[in-house]
A and B are shown apart, each in its own frame.
Chain A
Amino acid sequence: MSDRSPAIDRERVLKVAKLARLTLRDDEVPVVTEQLARVLAHIAQLSEVNTDGVEPTAQVGVERLPLRPDVPREPLARELVLAQAPETAAFGFVVPSFVEE
């Protein structure tokens, strides 16, 4: 992987930033690109490891998610939840419009 590793570049960083809904300032981009490139160069050493036939470990010690009885419980009070939101209306969170009228 180290040789043919897809090096990260400005364009890729901007694409990933868009996917992650991060707006990077112009002066951040070259710094972040260089830092990520160095970290990825270190990570590339994973390609040395023979993992043929090795099962992945995504989670340790949890075989399957436990089920609990489907019994309704008292939810948090609406006012309590809305109290922490930056912008609310009577019944919920307010967001900028995202559907064309």
Chain B
Amino acid sequence: MELLDGSLIDLADAVRSGEVSALEVADAALARIAADASGAYLDVDAERTRTQARAVDDKRARGEPLGPLAGVPIGLKDVLCTRDARTTCGSKLLEGYRPPYDATAVGRLRAADAVFTGKLNMDEFAMGSSNENSAYGAVKNPWDPTRVPGGSSGASAVAVASALASATLGTDTGGSIRQPAALTGVVGLKPTYGRVSRYGLVAFASSLDQIGPFAREVRGAARVLEVIAGHDALDATSVDRPIDDYVGACGADPKGLRVGVPDEYLSGEGLERDVRTSMQGALKALEGLGCSLVPLQMPHTRYAVATYYVVATAEASSNLARFDGVRYGVRVDPRKDLEAMYGATRDRGFGPEVKRRILLGTYVLSAGYYDAYYAKALKVRTLIRRDFEAAFAKCDVIAGPTSPQVAWPLGERVDDPLKMYLADVFTLPASLAGLPGISVPAAPSASGLPIGLQLVADAWQESRLLTLAHAFEQVSPARGLVPWGRA
């Protein structure tokens, strides 16, 4: 376990220096995965993983230089295309689907000599906040197996929290990296929109989707970001900007940073008392690091849920039109006509939450409703962006809770989609504005459940985000807490 317990940067260094082989690391990860009962992994193939690890060891034996993630075991959310593993998106519709290519982010990890542990469970097509909307079963939170791990990248968070990988990739459309990171006590980073190529990411809401890392420490997330970031001609929304020294930014002094604290992030009926208390402590800690706190108003925060669930579902209804039983996935054909085949395939293939979102998205785009819902939401989205513009005129980083609540009991909200949506309120604004955000473990609740501090910076300011997140991590009361170490 120690191999997987520590910093992934140290681990890569140890593999590079030959102190430990990639195969030993892979076997350690595979042993832990074999003993795991959380439901995190959907696809594990020990031979595939060991072959990849051996290739890294062989490369070293030949005297070739190894990449920045040499031998680091990394798990992949099952929404990322992999040429050597099936990619189901947590959906029955894509059961057994084997993409003919790797997502760009996956290819970059391979090129950096990472070793893949397998594919990770998720809410179907990344739609959900609890990982309960998977056709392949829910995932248990390692801090309390009766509770959800968050979503939609719930298993990506759990795999890191339980050391079933040193890092994982997830995707964040409205908080799907940051929220499960908060609920499982790990670090989750959503980069700026355009920072990481989405080529080979099965699309949910194209104006929002972004790939990012989970790790147990901020520097590890920074290392993974350095590898996956950067322009890709295969994704027209990926932006050609230099990649900063993200690992170097971890350890820089945050003294003098102005930390914006929106009133709206520390109030509201859904905010649990333990979360508020944890945040008060976190803000004090940031002050102790030499940051100044700047009170702010971000008045359109309360419209984020409504705005998001119009924009994201509209885009989803369009993106998911491709799942028609023709080119990939499962076909259900009542042998009547084409329409009947589409309907039966999609009825049988999609779960209830995906259907709800396709229906909602189709509704808000339909004639007679478009202006009142979709066009209106796009305008409110502009106002949410302007809240951030005004805020960043006065501060460098915005701080608040990632989630208003700690992990809730499995099953509690499955029949109440609105309640599920409302818990996304603090992660949605940065998504709608395309901004980078990170969740770092803060003081846990009275009952020991993890709570995340969310930091949001202006576009392309990942380095600043990482500097502050890393400094906070060193003084956070959550430091050193791991689920397997609980009494």
Q: How far is the CA of A84 from the CA of B97 in the complex (A)?
A: 7
Closest approach, in angstroms, between the C-beta of A49 and any C-beta of chain B?
5
* A90 lies within 8 A of chain B by Cβ: no
The stretch of B70-78, B132-140, B361-369 in contact with A is B361-369
Q: How far is the CA of A40 from the CA of B359 in the complex (A)?
A: 12
* B328 lies within 8 A of chain A by Cβ: yes
Q: How far is the CA of A81 from the CA of B326 in the complex (A)?
A: 12
Interface residues on B, range: 35 or more
* B402 lies within 8 A of chain A by Cβ: no
7 contacts between A and B (CB under 8 A): A6-B369, A21-B324, A32-B355, A39-B417, A43-B377, A49-B379, A95-B341
Chain A residues in 8 Å Cβ range of B337: 96-98
Closest to B384 in A: A57
With A38-B417, A84-B100, A98-B337 given, can you name 20 additional A-B contacts, CB distance below 8 Å? A6-B368, A16-B363, A20-B358, A21-B321, A21-B342, A23-B344, A24-B355, A25-B347, A32-B356, A42-B306, A42-B421, A43-B373, A54-B382, A56-B382, A58-B378, A83-B98, A93-B327, A95-B326, A96-B341, A98-B338
* A85 lies within 8 A of chain B by Cβ: yes
Closest approach, in angstroms, between the C-beta of A81 and any C-beta of chain B?
6
B382 to A22, Cβ gap below 8 A? no
Q: How far is the CA of A25 from the CA of B347 in the complex (A)?
A: 8
* B329 lies within 8 A of chain A by Cβ: yes
Closest to B306 in A: A43
Chain B residues in 8 Å Cβ range of A1: 372
Q: A21-B346, A38-B418, A85-B327 are in contact. Are A57 and B378 (CB under 8 A)?
A: yes
B contact residues vs A (CB 8 Å cutoff): 97-101, 192-194, 207, 233, 236-237, 239, 300, 302-303, 305-307, 309-310, 317, 321, 324-331, 333, 335-344, 346-347, 350, 352, 355-356, 358-360, 362-364, 366, 368-369, 372-373, 375-383, 385, 417-418, 421-422, 432-434, 459
Q: How far is the CA of A39 from the CA of B378 in the complex (A)?
A: 18
Q: How far is the CA of A93 from the CA of B341 in the complex (A)?
A: 14
Could you say which of B99, B303, B309, B331 contacts A87, with CB atoms under 8 Å apart?
Answer: B331
Chain B residues in 8 Å Cβ range of A42: 305-306, 309, 418, 421-422
* A72 lies within 8 A of chain B by Cβ: no
Q: A16-B362, A36-B356, A49-B380 are in contact. Are A21 and B343 (CB under 8 A)?
A: yes
Chain B residues in 8 Å Cβ range of A20: 317, 321, 346, 358-359, 362
A43 to B100, Cβ gap below 8 A? no
Chain B residues in 8 Å Cβ range of A58: 207, 378
Chain A residues in 8 Å Cβ range of B100: 76-77, 80-81, 83-84
Contact with B along A41-64 (1 / 0, CB 8 A): 011111101010011111111100
B335 to A85, Cβ gap below 8 A? no
Interface residues on A, range: 35 or more
Q: How far is the CA of A87 from the CA of B347 in the complex (A)?
A: 19
Could you say which of A12, A60, A93 contacts B326, with CB atoms under 8 Å apart?
Answer: A93
A22 to B303, Cβ gap below 8 A? no
Could you say which of B193, B307, B363 contacts A46, with CB atoms under 8 Å apart?
Answer: B307
- Name the residue among A21, A36, A55, A95 with the largest chain B CB count within 10 angstroms: A21
Closest approach, in angstroms, between the C-beta of A66 and any C-beta of chain B?
6
Could you say which of A38, A40, A43, A76 contacts B101, with CB atoms under 8 Å apart?
Answer: A76
Closest approach, in angstroms, between the C-beta of A27 and any C-beta of chain B?
11
Q: How far is the CA of A61 from the CA of B431 in the complex (A)?
A: 12
Chain A residues in 8 Å Cβ range of B343: 21-23
Could you say which of A16, A24, A49 contacts B347, with CB atoms under 8 Å apart?
Answer: A24
Could you say which of A44, A57, A83, A97 contacts B338, with CB atoms under 8 Å apart?
Answer: A97
Could you say which of B193, B237, B372, B383 contacts A49, with CB atoms under 8 Å apart?
Answer: B383
A46 to B310, Cβ gap below 8 A? yes
CB-based closest 8 A-B pairs:
A60-B434, A56-B378, A23-B343, A86-B331, A51-B379, A98-B338, A23-B347, A20-B362
A86 to B325, Cβ gap below 8 A? yes
Chain B residues in 8 Å Cβ range of A32: 352, 355-356, 359
Q: How far is the CA of A97 from the CA of B194 in the complex (A)?
A: 41
